[in-house]
Amino acid sequence: MTSKKRTVWNFFDRIEGDKVVWIIALMLILVSIVCIFSSSSRLLEGSQTRLDIVKSQLFIVAAGLVLIIVCYNIKNIKIFRWLSQWGFLVSFGLLALLLSKIDTGILRSIELNGARRILQIAGVQVHVFEVVKVAMVLYLAWAMDAFKKGELKGPRKAIWKKILYIYAPFLIILLMIIPGSNSAALFIGGIMFIVILLGGGNIRDMALLGAAAVVIIGGCWGIYEISGHKAFGRIGTALSRISEGEDWEQQVIDAREGSEEYYKALDKIRQPYSAKIAIKEGGILGKGPGQSTQRYVVPDISEDYMFSFIIEEYGLWGALIIMFLYVSLMARGSIIVRNCGKDLYAKISVSGLCMLITGQAFLHMFVNADIGPMTGQTLPLISHGNSAFLCFSLAFGIILSFSRIAQRRIEKEQRDAKPLLQLKENVSTGLQDLDDFESGKPMDIPEEPEEQPEIQEEDEMVNDEFDDYGI
């Protein structure tokens, strides 16, 4: 069999896996580069220029693409499965270092805005919560799959294995995230809860797990009150955002301009109000690239309010395109899950990662539209943030790798499937065979041709990829 000549024109034909997911990832990355360049005014430090910010973003983009390609080229699902079982220990270790307030020459826990979310390792800042999101989705996918297969070691009773490997890690990670961010704890906890539910968690156990999570949150609130608002300070921040009765807008109007009361009230409404102004001024078509005015007002517009910035510069149409990309990822994810066959680990991993990306994207959009309190969640693969970008690149790489393996399985099944009817070259004879088939008469079916060596080798490779996983 002659191999097809490799040219630029058939490049996409040679790419395996879900091509729509490839397009979604590349589109989001391109949008990120353009938007970071336009919104980088508040990111500049000292003598930096916008080109310096873009160069830094291009470096992170290149690292993210390398991460996607490396994961995509891993053809054996056993590697992902082995790495996933360490997800809880990695998450626990990073969160423990964060809460320990460690401060050495190489490793330092950084406090920002009254919360600890960042570890500085040898001068490189790592946003711990971004790592935990992906790591815990993969860990729970492994734990649920291993439990179903009876591979978990330890107690003999199934319920104790569930508690030890699934429920306890869920509650421990939730408790460790709360001191740094209540919104992140609720979001990550919700994603973990859904992953366990998708893995086959029964209703009774899930109800008890949800109740335990509520008790933990209530206990943290109780400690906050008993300690005189010193312990779990982020609880107070969350309560103020939810139950705040102050009309800060009216205070800005009533206060004397330039007074302390005026600036205090103005700081309270600056970001959400400026985000809504950006959405209103964007209109249908937007102001155009580089024409945003609210980027000079909103400090975190390149991170927490990126969606508002996109609407201001590219209008409603630009926003709809971004929303379409994330919705398409969820739709393609459901197709990949269906094609993963019987492998529970692959199915939970893909569905969990797709929900993580899409869920965070829409949570970011809701906050930008002032639907709910500010959460600090970035727009996946678009907002500025090195840790978030690399972690979501890892998520896309895993999704593409699983889609590639699933595609090879389907192609193998199609080759192995026997045709319902073998028609001969002669059309008249073929029509007679069809009439005989419909009338129930016996037919002479020719022997199948010998399988090509190239196809045999590829089938053996696919069988190795899915060995012992039932796909």
What is the side-by-side strand order in the sheet with 107-112? 107-112, 115-121, 124-127
428 SS3 class: helix
Q: Which residues of 439-464 are buried (b: 16+ CB within 10 A; e: fewer)?
A: eeeeeeeeeeeeeeeeeeeebeebee
Parallel/antiparallel/unpaired status of strands 115-121 and 124-127: antiparallel
For the segment 358-404, what is each residue's pLDDT rounded down to a tens digit? 999 999 998 888 776 677 788 999 988 889 999 999 999 999 999 98
pLDDT given for residue 248 in this prediction = 58
Q: Which pair of tokens denotes residue 364?
A: 């970011």
pLDDT band at 144 (very low <50, low <70, confident <90, very high): very high
For the segment 195-235, what is each residue's pLDDT rounded down to a tens digit? 999 888 788 888 888 898 888 888 877 877 787 766 666 66
pLDDT given for residue 71 in this prediction = 93
pLDDT band at 44 (very low <50, low <70, confident <90, very high): low
Comparing 302 with 236, the larger pLDDT belongs to: 302
199 close to 145: Cβ distance less than 8 angstroms = yes
For the segment 245-283, what is each residue's pLDDT rounded down to a tens digit? 555 565 656 666 666 666 566 666 667 777 778 888 888
Q: Which pair of tokens denotes residue 127?
A: 């946003």
Measured distance CA(470)–CA(367) in Å, rounded? 42
Query: In this structure, is the dihedral angle defined by the CA atoms of residues 97, 103, 107 and 111, taken in order, positive or negative?
Result: positive
pLDDT band at 469 (very low <50, low <70, confident <90, very high): very low
- Indicate the residue type of 298: V
118 SS3 class: strand
pTM higher than 0.85: no
pLDDT given for residue 442 in this prediction = 62
Q: What is the mean pLDDT of the chain?
A: 79
Measured distance CA(229)–CA(233) in Å, rounded? 6
Question: Mean pLDDT across the stretch 96-103?
Answer: 88
Q: Has residue 241 got a pLDDT over 60?
A: no
Parallel/antiparallel/unpaired status of strands 115-121 and 107-112: antiparallel
pLDDT band at 470 (very low <50, low <70, confident <90, very high): very low
Question: Mean pLDDT across the stretch 191-198?
Answer: 92
Parallel/antiparallel/unpaired status of strands 124-127 and 107-112: unpaired
111 SS3 class: strand
Contacts of 73 (CB under 8 A, 6+ apart): 401
